[in-house]
């Protein structure tokens, strides 16, 4: 049986939302952040580093075809639940599922090959990343939601 590491690192501007990541040993790591005009606080069991920050959004045009995202790099207009195919030989995971689009957030799921999976909700301006062992990660960020239409940005990243 293969051992895996899935890390979800979420950067959200909504207080109270955070993230959880699981190390290769299976020990969970959690971080949370809250931001306001007067106060900024961050709690982390591990030191933060620049390598855990989302890459800048790519400059590609927005597509409506999820198949354009198979290489892990695209800007996708999403209006509701859909499956985004991924290159499993590169990223290990074959699909990223958009579960729901809300007024100011988007919920996604990454199903595991052997069953189960992980899910998270991303607020506007937030991002998350997932990856397998020492392979490349995929950063997912939510750029905007307007009238039920979200622009989701996928960007390949370094191993987590």
DSSP string, 35-81: E-SS-EEEEESS---GGGSPPPPP-PPEES-GGGGTTS-EEEEESS-
Dmax of the chain from CA atoms? 49
User: SS3 of 19, please?
Assistant: strand
On whether the CB atoms of residues 139 and 157 are closer than 8 A, the answer is yes
pLDDT of residue 134: 86
- pLDDT greater at residue 121 or residue 11: 121
pLDDT digits (tens, 9 = 90+) for 38-96: 333 333 344 444 445 554 555 569 999 999 999 999 999 999 999 999 999 999 999 99
Taking the C-alpha atoms of residue 94 and residue 91, their distance in angstroms, rounded to an integer, is 8
| pLDDT score of 127 | 97
Q: How far is CA 19 from the centre of its chain?
A: 10
Q: Is the model's pTM score more than 0.75?
A: no
- Which two tokens mark 126? 């937030």
């Amino acid at each position: 049986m293969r051992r895996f590491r899935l890390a979800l690192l979420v950067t959200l501007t909504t207080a109270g939302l955070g993230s959880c990541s699981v190390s290769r040993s299976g020990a969970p790591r959690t971080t949370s952040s809250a931001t306001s005009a007067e106060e900024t606080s961050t709690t982390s069991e591990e030191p933060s580093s620049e390598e855990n920050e989302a890459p800048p959004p790519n400059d590609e045009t927005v597509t409506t075809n999820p198949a354009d995202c198979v290489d892990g790099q695209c800007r996708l207009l999403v209006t509701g639940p859909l499956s985004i195919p991924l290159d499993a030989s590169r990223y290990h995971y074959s699909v990223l599922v958009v579960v729901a689009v809300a007024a100011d957030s988007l919920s996604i799921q990454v199903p595991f090959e052997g069953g189960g999976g992980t899910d998270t909700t991303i607020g506007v301006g937030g991002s998350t990343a997932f990856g397998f062992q020492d392979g490349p990660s995929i950063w997912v960020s939510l750029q905007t939601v307007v009238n039920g239409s979200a622009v989701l940005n996928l960007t390949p990243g370094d191993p987590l």
